[in-house]
Amino acid sequence: MSVGHTAVTTEPVVRCGDATEDCGIREVLDRIGDKWSVLVVVELARGVRRFRQLQRATPGISQRMLTLTVRRLERDGIVTRTVHPTVPPQVEYELTAVGHSLTHLVKALADWSAEHRDVIARARREWDAEHPGAGIR
Amino acid sequence: MSVGHTAVTTEPVVRCGDATEDCGIREVLDRIGDKWSVLVVVELARGVRRFRQLQRATPGISQRMLTLTVRRLERDGIVTRTVHPTVPPQVEYELTAVGHSLTHLVKALADWSAEHRDVIARARREWDAEHPGAGIR
DNA sequence: CCGGATCCTAATCGATACTG
DNA sequence: CAGTATCGATTAGGATCCGG
């Protein structure tokens, strides 16, 4: 396959004593690893958004999931929720400082994805070809 | 709450036309957003590992989940799987070049987590205090 | 417009038992 | 040792109806 990575005997880039401690990586992933959080954050990175705006900008999300998503983000201090007591009601969501710093991380994710999606797609096709009828999805 | 982030009207760090396109972020998260992948990758970042070694280094993972996890990572070209036809059987897992590059991304995750975990934990406690009996978990 | 409450389905994961 | 197979529990997520 000629991936030819330069024999790294020990280059523990991540550096935490053991996978046991999990570095806190799981915390981040529990926060943004779900189906919708990053998409909402990405949209909010473009500016203040109302509930409906967020829903329209995130095709496929249900009302329920959007509610849950923004609630969790609010709880973690990643977005603020501002209710304007008008009629009809108007609620605005906005990234906090932490939320904005998160967008940089999201950018890193997007960059990595863009950089490797082709290679990975190819590897996947090859694997699927060599393993016919493997239910690994 | 005094988060006081500097009024960012439009600083689209992420830059993809719309959350609609999702940048491919979802691809990454579908790959490493699960419960165990990153932990396995972190352990493999420290060197070549056998199946049992991975399982011992990842407390709580079941045999089944480890199998599924390494299979998916192999399929995506993130790890290689080498079977030594000895007895008892011996299978070694090793990061590919893509896998190693992923390690850097994981480090970014770990760094961000370390940098914000306290603030987030505090925000969460405050939210929970202000919203008694909210089943948001 | 915003979102809570309810019901239901599908995916995920863990435990256990068994095989080469 | 390194898996596969099966089952059950838990969870995430979608659809829908309703209320402020």
Q: How confident is the model over B113-127, as pLDDT tens digits?
A: 999 999 999 999 999
**Which nucleotide shows the minimum CA-to-C1' distance to residue B55?**
D2
Q: What is the pLDDT of residues B18-27, one digit of tens each?
A: 444 566 888 8
| Per-chain mean pLDDT for chain A | 85
In the prediction, which pLDDT does B6 show? 36
Chain A residues 43-62 within an 8 A CB cutoff of chain B:
43, 45-47, 57-59
Tokens of A108: 């890193």
- For the cut 50, the answer to whether the pLDDT of residue B15 exceeds it is no
Q: Tell whether the model's pLDDT for residue B7 goes beyond 50.
A: no
User: Structure pTM?
Assistant: 0.84
CA distances from B48 to A10, A89, B80, B83, B94 (A): 9, 57, 10, 13, 5
Residues 14-43 of A with CB under 8 A from B: 14-16, 18-20, 22-29, 31-35, 38-40, 42-43
Chain A nearest CA to B104, separation (Å)? 7
pLDDT recorded at residue B8: 36
- For residue A47, pLDDT beyond 90: yes
A94 touches strand C (CB under 7 A): no
Integer CA distances (angstroms), B69 to A19, B12, B74, B93, in order: 15, 34, 9, 12
- Cα of B87 to nearest chain A Cα, Å: 24
Q: Which residue of B has its CA nearest to A98?
A: B116
Cβ contact A81 with chain C strand, < 7 A: yes
Distance CA A64, CA B115 (A): 31
- SS3 call for B53: helix
Task: Please answer whether residues B54 and B37 qualify as being in contact, where contact means their C-beta atoms are separated by less than 8 angstroms.
Answer: no
Residue A25 is predicted with a pLDDT of 85
Segment A68-115, tens digit of pLDDT: 999 999 999 999 999 999 989 999 999 999 999 999 999 999 999 999
pLDDT given at position A121:
95
pLDDT reported for residue A18: 47
B7 or B12, which is more confident? B12
- When pLDDT is averaged across residues A18-31 and rounded to a whole number, the result is 72
Report the length, in residues, of chain B. Answer: 137
With CB atoms and an 8 Å threshold, state whether B97 touches A39. Answer: no
Nearest to A123 among B32, B76, B112 (CB): B76
- Answer for A91: CB within 7 Å of strand C: yes
Chain A residues in contact with B72 by the CB 8 A cut-off are 136
Query: Can you give the pLDDT at residue B21?
Result: 54
Instruction: State the average pLDDT over residues B63-78.
Output: 97
Q: Is the pLDDT of residue B70 over 80?
A: yes
Q: Which nucleotide is nearest to A92 (CA to C1')?
A: C2
The C-alpha atoms of residue B21 and residue A117 are separated, in whole angstroms, by 15
How much is the average pLDDT of B34-54? 96
Contact A98 B127 (CB under 8 A): no
Q: What nucleotide is nearest B92 when CA is compared to C1'?
A: D2
Q: Evaluate whether A89 touches A82 at the Cβ level (below 8 Å).
A: no
How distant is C1' of D1 from CA of B15, in Å?
A: 48
